[in-house]
Amino acid sequence: MSRTEEKILLSHGNGGLKMHELITGLFIKHFGNKILKQQSDSAILPVDSNEIAFTTDSFVIDPLFFPGGNIGKLAVCGTVNDLSVSGAEPLFISVSFIIEEGFPMKDLETIVKSLANEAKKAGVLIVTGDTKVVNKGKCDKLFINTAGIGRIDKAKRIAGKFRSIKPGDLVLINGPIGEHGMAVMNARESFNFKTPVESDCACLNDLIMEVLDHTTSVKFMRDPTRGGVATVLNELTATKKFGISLDEAALPVGKGVRAMCEILGFDPLYVANEGKVIIIAAEKESGRILDIMRTNELGKQSAIIGRIVSEHPGKVVLRTETGSNRIIDSLTGDPLPRIC
Amino acid sequence: MKYIDEYRKKDLILGLSEEIKKISKKEISLMEVCGGHTMAIHRFGLDSLLPPNVHLLSGPGCPVCVSGQHFIDTAIAYSQLTGSIITTYGDLIRVPGSASSLEKEKAGGRDIRIVYSVLESLEIAVKNPGKNVIFLGIGFETTAPLTAAAIEEALKRNIRNFSVLSSHKVMPPVMKALVKDGVKINGFIAPGHVSAITGTGIYAELPGSFGLGVVISGFEPVDMMQSILMLVAQFEAGKPRVEIQYQRVVKEEGNQVAQKLLNKLFELKDDRWRGLGLIPLSGLKIRPGFSAFDAESLFPLEVPVAPEPKGCICGMILRGLKTPLECGLFGKKCTPTDPVGACMVSGEGTCATYYKYRS
């Protein structure tokens, strides 16, 4: 654990280095078992001769409503995506509410309808839940906790495949980055940007299944939420014998996100996404995977953004448009709390 | 994107790089004063485009980095006053004071809020009539006019529970102090946005008295490379002078409206700079006529001056005398997650920049 911390700081929850320290130094230290130690988006559980994926997530986003979604839609998408990137077909989710006394019933109904609607679209059933109401001031409006269960088809299993990642493999993403983080930031009361940035919040199970239906060469999948693309790729390369070279010119960044990032001093690589998946696959199959992704509504702007390299092992390096190299490090500060 | 894409064109940048290589014969050290310039150099990898005889040194222009430990201790003391809400720009909350930081105080229950503009503090004050909202005023001539404007606005709207703890600083005294301290540089890449407010007059002494060239630069890669080229050309010709590269923003006379506002609300005071110590008339204090908005007048507190952390060479780094790599704490005891000195705290700090872009 960090040498000076006696209290939990906001940066312990931002998806960056401090959170990593907390997870490994406290949670894994005390809970440690073979399944947890895999630290993937879902736990892969053996049941008889089959496997199921099991995940949980909590949502504390502020504001509850933002361009492109609300906390309800986000809760379904976040849970479904955590299952999907593990190669599982999402089936069942639970939804628990922690509600502050005095919360408007109308808002709760809107959120519940979004949950139901998104679950229906994604083909998952909300099968259990819990409700707690706390005194005014004891939680901020509404928090949601979910769990999700998915079925793993052995042919589509990707757990552990990251071990076969080797130089030459390519890094793909299904569209422009940073939209969720910037949309939420824009929606906060202190900002009045007129830039139309909408959250990319979406369930990716169809897109991912379409890819896995057609190829077995996907070696790694992860949804780059908190901490963004930079954090996912840094977690992957840390302590590995390979590095990742990203191509700035190929990186899809929408106009609105780019403008907001320039003004506020953010790097879109560190900004959260809620409808994006990073895929690493063998080079020879990548073109085909890209084509499949692009046929899906949520993957029209899919792109190959980088390559696994033997140079700079353990590091993610961005080849800038000017031809220079820039190290893309793990996130340390807390640029934007409570975005999911 | 307009005003950005045209200043990031690869062929222009590489063309300027070639030109610098062609005309630069002598060893030359240039100091970029502004933290924004330090970031741009690393973000776009500009140092790799320069010949080995052109050296860049990072100066004291990151407002967070130069805010003294004593200022943080004072801000923490104000956060502990009953009924106070501290508002601050984000980077400052992680800066270590002598025993704590605003981030840790916040976790301990103090009401400390991050704002992106000082004007947000006014709204917080309006919404919390029973509380005293104290804004931590940091930054140079660039941000100080905004603080001044907020005080004027508070006066106009009769918002009486808003005040400022000012650690605003001005650029010229520190630039002169650095030169007098014997920092071996041949020219300044001068801050673009400070100069947009002040104009070029503040640098007038540097070429004549110290033989130093000054080029006021923009923040895009083409701006920076062009500024370096201009400084190299001045140096090779032996003719140091003040020039404006950032002509689309900076005028010789500066922004006179902002200057007037600044003078109306603030007066100069001796001020502490982290690592550099006390520099005469280098800080901005709220004038007595506006003391109703001066946190120090409203709530006088005695905060002792604690010694700087052991082993930290922020002072030498801010002077450009040493690089972070020469610090025993760098990357070991002092990292972005656990910073010791302020140069590691801010994204624009020299140590944080070195840490992030180290290869």
Residues A288 and A149 occupy one common structural domain: no
In a domain, A301, yes or no: yes
Q: Is A253 on the interface with B (CB under 8 A)?
A: no
Q: Is B196 on the interface with A (CB under 8 A)?
A: no
In a domain, B24, yes or no: no
Q: What is the pLDDT of residue A334?
A: 55
**Average model confidence (pLDDT) across chain B:** 91
In a domain, A336, yes or no: no
CB contact under 8 A, B45 and A258: no
In a domain, B342, yes or no: no
For the ranges A332-336, B277-281, B282-286, the maximum mean pLDDT occurs at: B282-286
User: Which of A259, A264, A333 is facing B94, going by the closest CB pair?
Assistant: A333
Nearest-by-CA chain A residue for B352? A332
Quote the percentage of chain A above a pLDDT of 90: 72
The answer to whether B43 touches B199, Cβ cutoff 8 Å, is: no
Within 8 A of B115 by CB-CB distance, chain A residues are: 190
Chain A, 59-88: which have a CB under 8 Å from a chain B CB? Answer: none
Instruction: Kindly state the tokens that stand for A216.
Output: 């077995």
Q: Is B357 on the interface with A (CB under 8 A)?
A: yes
Residues A15 and A77 occupy one common structural domain: no
Q: What is the pLDDT of residue A2?
A: 47
Look at residue B9 and tell me whether its pLDDT is greater than 80: yes
CB contact under 8 A, B8 and A322: yes
In a domain, A205, yes or no: yes
Model pTM score: 0.83
pLDDT < 50: residue spans in chain A: 1-3
CB contact under 8 A, A10 and B107: yes
Q: What is the pLDDT of residue B347?
A: 66
CB contact under 8 A, A323 and B104: no
State how far the Cα of A6 lies from the Cα of B243, in Å rounded to an integer.
51
CATH assignment at residue B107: 3.40.50.11740
In a domain, B82, yes or no: yes
In a domain, B135, yes or no: yes
Domains contained in chain B, number: 1
Q: What is the pLDDT of residue A331?
A: 73
B322-336 confidence digits (pLDDT tens): 889 999 999 998 988
B21-41 confidence digits (pLDDT tens): 999 999 999 999 888 898 888
Q: What is the pLDDT of residue A20?
A: 85
| Boundary residue ending a domain (A106, A125, A155) | A155
In a domain, A23, yes or no: yes
In a domain, B191, yes or no: no
Within 8 A of B106 by CB-CB distance, chain A residues are: 9-10
Q: Is B160 on the interface with A (CB under 8 A)?
A: no
In a domain, B272, yes or no: yes
| Boundary residue ending a domain (A133, A155, A177) | A155
Element containing residue A87 per DSSP (H, E): none
Q: Is A319 on the interface with B (CB under 8 A)?
A: no
Residues A68 and A31 occupy one common structural domain: no
State how far the Cα of B126 lies from the Cα of B133, in Å rounded to an integer.
9
What is the extent of the structural domain holding A35? Answer: 1-39
Q: Is B113 on the interface with A (CB under 8 A)?
A: no
Mean pLDDT over residues B240-252, rounded? 96
Q: What is the pLDDT of residue B307?
A: 82
Within 8 A of B89 by CB-CB distance, chain A residues are: none
Residue B1, min C-alpha distance to chain A (Å): 8
| Boundary residue ending a domain (A155, A176, A199) | A155
Q: What is the pLDDT of residue B61?
A: 78
Tracing tokens 């005398």 back to the chain, one arrives at: B321
Q: Is B11 on the interface with A (CB under 8 A)?
A: no
Nearest to A305 by CA among A322, A291, A318: A318
Look at residue B282 and tell me whether its pLDDT is greater than 60: yes
Mean pLDDT over residues B336-354, rounded? 77
What is the extent of the structural domain holding B95? Answer: 67-170+254-298
Residues A248 and A296 occupy one common structural domain: yes
Residues A180 and A291 occupy one common structural domain: yes
Residues A169 and A311 occupy one common structural domain: yes
In a domain, A83, yes or no: yes
Dihedral of the alpha carbons of B1, B6, B9, B15, in degrees to the nearest 10: -170
Residue B4, min C-alpha distance to chain A (Å): 9
Residue A212, min C-alpha distance to chain B (Å): 36
**Residue B354: CB atoms within 10 Å:** 21
Domains contained in chain A, number: 3
In a domain, A333, yes or no: no
In a domain, B93, yes or no: yes
CATH assignment at residue A61: 3.30.1330.10
Q: Looking at per-residue confidence, does A321 or B108 come out higher? A: B108
Residues A142 and A290 occupy one common structural domain: no
A62-104 confidence digits (pLDDT tens): 999 999 999 999 999 999 999 999 999 999 999 999 999 999 9
CB contact under 8 A, A322 and B117: no
Residues A173 and A310 occupy one common structural domain: yes
In a domain, A9, yes or no: yes
Q: Which of B8, B338, B348 to mutate to test the interface with A (most CBs of A within 10 A)?
A: B338
Residue A92, min C-alpha distance to chain B (Å): 37
Q: What is the pLDDT of residue A3?
A: 46
User: Which of B49, B103, B120 is facing A190, going by the closest CB pair?
Assistant: B120
Residues A22 and A72 occupy one common structural domain: no
Burial call B269-295: b when 16+ CB within 10 Å, e when fewer: eebbbbbbeebeebbbbbeeebeebbb
Q: What is the pLDDT of residue A190?
A: 60
In a domain, A337, yes or no: no
Residues 6+ positions from A8 with CB-CB distance below 8 Å = A22, B107
In a domain, B7, yes or no: no
